[in-house]
Structure 1
Amino acid sequence: MIFNVPEMSCGHCTSAIEKGIKSKDPSAVIATDLELRLVTVQSILAQGDVQKAIADAGYEASAA
């Protein structure tokens, strides 16, 4: 799953997003691209659940 996260701009942002996703799925594999503002997630969670975890961390995300 790949998400656009327009407000992700620094290491703190990526850390908060990763922590939010891993709180729901500790085994998730997460890659972030600050330049493109993309988050790639491999998880057992459904896309909507990952999107909600990102939102719960304070960032709006949409499917890329």
Structure 2
Amino acid sequence: MHEFQLPSMTCGHCAARVNRALKQADPACAVEVDMAQRRVVVKSHEDRAVLAEALADAGYAPA
């Protein structure tokens, strides 16, 4: 399980883009978004660096 703080995730559209980016990196992952905390928890067997890169490529670089 990986947890990321995403300061630039500010709305539902952002959350959808984050979810889509993570699913492209690992189609089998489970994503939980906490908009209030600007946090995402990802249950994935993929390496953390791969997921962080997918988020950054989508415009939501982890803090």
Q: TM-score range by the shorter chain?
A: over 0.9
Structure 1 counterpart of 2:47, one-letter code: A
Secondary structure of the corresponding residue to residue 33 of structure 2: strand
Identity in percent? 34
Count of residue pairs brought into register by the alignment: 62
TM-score (norm 1): 0.91
Segments of structure 2 that go 5 or more residues without pairing to the other structure are none
Deviations 1:11-58 (Å, cap 9, x if unpaired)?
Answer: 110100110010111110000001000000011211111100111111
Secondary structure of the corresponding residue to residue 32 of structure 1: strand
CA RMSD of aligned residues (A): 0.8
- Aligned twin of 2:47: 46
TM-score (norm 2): 0.93
5 Å-filtered alignment, 1:1-64, equals 1-62=2-63
Runs of 4+ in 1 over 4 A off after TM superposition: none
Segments of structure 1 that go 5 or more residues without pairing to the other structure are none
